[in-house]
Amino acid sequence: MTTASLSRSVGAQTVQRPNIVAVGTIVWLGSEVMFFAGLFAIYFTLKAMSPALWDEQTAKLNVTYAAVNTVVLVLSSFTCQAGVFAAERLQARRTGTLGQFWKWGMVEWFYLTYAMGATFVVGQIYEYANLVSEHVSLSSDAYGSAFYITTGFHGLHVTGGLIAFLLVIGRAFAVKTFGHKEATTAIVVSYYWHFVDVVWIGLFAVIYLLQ
């Protein structure tokens, strides 16, 4: 039986039932997809109305810096998934030294994911500060509004994911035995984290590459 499903035996048959927490998370993420689709629509609409403004303001973006920050966030999805694999085998913490990452448990991998996610958020704040010094702010013009609204809401979602990681890690320390409930929590948090990573890839492509 996996953490993504519940099973029960009826005679000689086994009935597979989806985990209600996982299903609920996926449904909620579906609504989040619609939310970000609206933000993309706003961005493209404003861009179509002010192409000259977009040409002027996008020239102020540091694409290389944003690309490095993006790589950090994308790599955090891999460390997050490594933590999920550890949770699925019900290994909460490492069984070897800190340097033996192949023996890490969910906690160690999620700590690393948290650090990478926090690095991304700090990097985004630093970028905001630089853009403000270039007179690109939320109220400066249509481009500033579109840029900060889309990236800002994403940043809030990343921050929410960081809080979720801390809660999962705290729960792993709080329970006497790390079981399937704790593993399921780790898995649904990973769904959310992968989602915000994919959304950012889309935002990066639209804002920094397509401009």
pLDDT digits (tens, 9 = 90+) for 64-104: 999 999 999 999 999 999 999 999 999 999 999 999 999 99
11 has a pLDDT exceeding 80: no
Q: How far apart are CA 42 and CA 40, in angstroms?
A: 5
Total-model pTM = 0.87
CA atoms within 13 A on the CB side of 21: 17
What contacts 48, CB < 8 A, 6 or more positions away?
A: none
Specify which residues 13 forms β-bridges with: 10
Return the exposure string of 122-149: e unless at least 16 CB atoms fall within 10 Å of the residue's CB, then b.
ebbeebbeebeeeebeeebbbbbbbbbe
Distances in Å between the alpha carbon of 100 and those of 96, 125, 208? 6, 33, 37
Q: How far apart are CA 177 and CA 189, in angstroms?
A: 20
Q: Lowest-pLDDT range, 19-23, 91-95, 110-114, 205-209?
A: 19-23
Distances in Å between the alpha carbon of 136 and those of 116, 132, 142, 166, 167? 27, 5, 10, 33, 36
- 93-140 per-position pLDDT tens digit: 999 999 999 999 999 999 999 999 999 999 999 999 999 999 999 999
Domains of the chain in start order, with CATH, are: 19-210 (1.20.120.80)
